[in-house]
Amino acid sequence: MGLATSIAVFFVLWWLVLFLTLPFGIRSQWEDETQSDGTDPGAPQKPNILRKFGATTLITFVVFILVRMAVEAEIFRPFLETST
């Protein structure tokens, strides 16, 4: 796997993991009964976005290493071969 492909795979995995981790630990203003004027009741109280970015990066790094190892071991080769 080349450098450009590795960066692209990491980028796609990072966004996938980000969208999986965003809902964790979120409490809305409606759940805490602390709604501010002019805000949506479903808006999160403390999104902790920097912590989620860090967790996303660490999780993605582990998943990327596993994907990279699978590609190097040619585990996906049978799925890519076509009979012509």
Q: Residue 84: what pLDDT?
A: 57
Q: For the whole model, what pTM was predicted?
A: 0.75
From the number of C-beta atoms within 10 Å of its C-beta (0-12, 13-18, 19+), residue 60 rates as: buried
Q: Give the tens place of pLDDT for each residue, 12-49.
A: 999 999 999 998 888 777 776 677 777 787 778 788 89
Q: Please check whether residue 67 is in contact with residue 53, taking contact to mean a CB–CB distance below 8 angstroms.
A: no
Average pLDDT, the chain: 86
pLDDT tier for residue 5 given thresholds of 50, 70 and 90: very high
Q: Please check whether residue 6 is in contact with residue 73, taking contact to mean a CB–CB distance below 8 angstroms.
A: no
Using the structure block, give the residue that is written with the tokens 């990279």: 68
Q: Residue 72: what pLDDT?
A: 87
